């Protein structure tokens, strides 16, 4: 449990800082929801939809954590992706966005994907080698992250720039580090959703909580 909870304080601080001078466009957390059921469609800000395929997307409390997390499990391969897609409360247009999410990857879990949509314009794979592959390019990897303890993923998206850009950072926990600036396609100006999923060729489960996106005022 301590490895889950140790990231809570820095995450809450980051969420507070992200909220200063900004508008929350997405906030998905699961503390008010019953254990063992799917995440609710209506979240604090925005909505979520899930697709279980051969796996499941359920509210859980890993290792007896006092807080509830979403757990995505994908036990069978090959099979369609098991995913949760979180949408903004509305379309907010060109701007500067900050994404924060706490994640927990147990040992043995295969590649986990976080992508920004719609349509997809940034695709991050958290690989078995404990680094992050960017846009399916095996030669383009960043950072390092731990297994069996939580850490924070931060993505700063600026669609006011020409071309749009993002800064990807791994924060908090023991062993989470690394940052990379990425040039984005013009599709990034349509940013309005975040998808977390596990693909057909991988198996395992992972957890995430406090998925927050804010837009600078």
Residues 52-76: pLDDT tens digits? 888 999 999 876 677 899 999 998 8
**210: exposed, middle or buried (C-beta count within 10 Å: 0-12, 13-18, 19+)?**
buried
Residue 199 has pLDDT above 90, yes or no: no
CATH code (residue 21): 2.60.120.200
Residue 144 has pLDDT above 50, yes or no: yes
- Considering only 10-19, 33-42, 195-204, which range has the smallest mean pLDDT? 10-19
CA angle at 84 for the pair 19 and 68, rounded to the nearest 5°: 65
How many domains, in total, are found in the chain? Answer: 1
Residue 78 has pLDDT above 90, yes or no: no
Residue 3 has pLDDT above 80, yes or no: no
What is the pLDDT confidence band of residue 162, given thresholds at 50, 70 and 90? very high
Averaged pLDDT for residues 117-131:
96
In the prediction, which pLDDT does 105 show? Answer: 95
What range does the domain containing 39 cover?
A: 2-216
Q: Tell which wins on pLDDT, 4 or 173.
A: 173
Question: Which are the contacts of 138, defined by CB distance < 8 A and separation ≥ 6?
Answer: none
The pTM for the full model equals 0.90
Contact indicator for 6, 102 with CB cutoff of 8 Å: no
Residue 182 has pLDDT above 50, yes or no: yes
Percent of all residues in the chain with a pLDDT value above 90, rounded to a whole number: 76
């Amino acid at each position: 449990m301590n490895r889950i909870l140790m990231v809570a304080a820095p995450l809450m601080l980051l969420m507070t800082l992200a909220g200063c001078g900004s508008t929350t466009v997405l906030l998905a957390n699961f503390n008010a929801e019953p254990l063992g059921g799917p995440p609710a469609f209506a979240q604090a800000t925005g909505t979520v939809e899930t697709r279980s395929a051969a796996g499941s997307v359920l509210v859980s409390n890993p290792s007896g954590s006092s807080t509830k997390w979403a757990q995505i499990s994908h036990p069978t391969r090959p099979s369609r992706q098991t995913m949760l897609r979180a949408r903004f409360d509305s379309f907010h247009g060109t701007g500067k966005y900050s994404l924060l999410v706490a994640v927990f990857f147990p040992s043995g879990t295969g590649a986990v994907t976080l992508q920004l949509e719609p349509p997809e314009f940034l695709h991050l794979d958290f690989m078995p080698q404990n680094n992050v592959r960017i846009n399916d390019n095996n030669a383009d990897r960043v950072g390092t992250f731990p297994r069996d303890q939580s850490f924070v993923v931060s993505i700063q998206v600026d669609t006011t720039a020409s071309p749009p850009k993002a800064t990807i950072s791994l924060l908090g926990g023991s062993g989470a580090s690394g940052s990379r600036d990425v040039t984005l396609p013009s599709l990034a100006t349509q940013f309005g959703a975040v998808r977390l999923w596990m693909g057909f060729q991988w198996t395992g489960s992972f957890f995430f909580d406090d998925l927050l996106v804010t837009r600078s005022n």
